[in-house]
Amino acid sequence: MTATSLTGANASTEVPLKRRLRRAERTRQVKALALVLPLLVFLLFTFAGPIAGMLWRAVDDREVRQALPQTVMALANWEGKDLPDEKAYAAVANDILAARASGTIAIAAKRLNYALNGFRTILTSTARNLKAVPEPGTARETLGKINPAWRERTTWTTIKDAGGPVTGFYLLAALDLTRNVDGAIVAASPDQAIYREIFGRTFLISLSVTVLCLILGFPVAYLLATLPPGRSNLLMIFVLLPFWTSLLVRTCAWIVLLQSKGVVNDSLHWLGIIDEPLRLIYNRFGVCVAMTHVLLPFMILPLYSSMKAISPAYMRAAASLGAPPLTAFLRIYLPQTLPGIGAGSLLVFILALGYYITPALVGGAADQMISYFIALYTTETANWGLASALGAVLLLATILLALVYGKLVQGQQVTGGMKN
């Protein structure tokens, strides 16, 4: 057999071999898929779906378009330089009458009021005073007489901006930005610009809690990983104990402990250390203490698992090679716990970002985190757009953080040298 015919035979058998392999693997893949399918469906409906819905609501803007369809259409080609023409006035008069009849006017009024304070009054007064469709050519005059705001350019740009179907309005608002009358993005007025500060506060509290958890959790995790099994199991039970009680109960326990007539203050007073009760709760201190307590296990467990994997032989080797205990710890032990530190910190930080109950119960007005406002807009004021936009910004920030972490971990990839 010649060389060419040999390679030819190889080439002709190679493809069927690959295909056979695929066919052989297919059953296994189908089985694997069947095993994860229920969870996948569950996640799709309870996780991916709602998130997609939230992201959509952050840009969705169809209330005005539905209530005032003719106006939105009439303004479609309006440049926004001057007041719109008579056609737009006639359209808005028609729309208002129709919306009043169908009861959709309040929805449009609410949406327009977000963008321009007082718009609700403009719409309701117009709806109340507009008796019938104005004669052709008199719409501008009629409306201007009912409410002078119809002679303002801002009124019309507000309607045009809110015409949808999608808008950046909520996302801009979540970042303390807005569009001015000429459509340029500018900083929001100081009385509305609160979200950046709240985001900053949220990140600051989360960061403080993460650092506190790391400082408190590291020694505990070390003990857990190095104590003999009997005692480390006992310690592990103490670490996991918080999971056995509800978050609400633990937070309320902190109120009992930290309030001005609480256990801590009474003890300090009894010991003569303080005369006046310290303010330990309904401030930043109380929030950080309670959140650290709740989130501590999430730091300890990843730290523990990374420390458990570090063989005591490494520290012995370092000592035998001449490293004093501190040097051995800093140069040999600590670097090997970095993946655990990273995982624990990321977990605690991301969980802390979304914290709601604890700051709401033990924090003051200046300690409320972003989730408090998201809850406020969804449950109290039903401003779904803004709530979704705040959520979307938070989600984006979290994803960015996770990506940064991923990059860091990749650079610090540790492969095991021990063969056990």
Residues that bind another protein (CB under 8 A): 311, 313-314, 316-325, 327-328, 331-332, 335-336, 412, 414-420
Residue among 341 and 369 whose Cβ is closer to another protein: 341
Give min distance, CB of 326 to another protein, in A: 10
Residue among 252 and 409 whose Cβ is closer to another protein: 409
Ramachandran category for residue 413: left, alpha or beta (phi over 0 → left; psi -120 to 50 → alpha): beta
Contact 124, 80 (CB under 8 A): no
Contact 345, 214 (CB under 8 A): yes
Give min distance, CB of 310 to another protein, in A: 9
Ramachandran category for residue 286: left, alpha or beta (phi over 0 → left; psi -120 to 50 → alpha): alpha
Task: List the one residue out of 63, 248, 37 whose CA is nearest residue 159.
Answer: 63
Give the Cα separation of 345 and 13 in Å (integer). Answer: 53
Residue among 12 and 415 whose Cβ is closer to another protein: 415
Residue among 328 and 353 whose Cβ is closer to another protein: 328
Residue among 66 and 336 whose Cβ is closer to another protein: 336
Give min distance, CB of 319 to another protein, in A: 4
Residue carrying the six token digits 């309904």: 282
Question: Looking at the chain, how many residues does it have?
Answer: 420
Residue among 185 and 408 whose Cβ is closer to another protein: 408
Eight-state DSSP code of residue 135: P
Query: Which positions ≥6 away from 363 have C-beta within 8 Å?
Result: 282, 283, 284, 286, 287, 369
Give min distance, CB of 273 to another protein, in A: 40
Burial class (CB in 10 A: 0-12, 13-18, 19+), 91: buried
Query: Which positions ≥6 away from 140 have C-beta within 8 Å?
Result: 86, 89, 150
Give min distance, CB of 222 to another protein, in A: 17
Residue among 13 and 412 whose Cβ is closer to another protein: 412
Give min distance, CB of 299 to another protein, in A: 21
Give min distance, CB of 337 to another protein, in A: 10
Give min distance, CB of 311 to another protein, in A: 7
Burial class (CB in 10 A: 0-12, 13-18, 19+), 352: buried
Residue among 314 and 384 whose Cβ is closer to another protein: 314
Ramachandran category for residue 193: left, alpha or beta (phi over 0 → left; psi -120 to 50 → alpha): beta
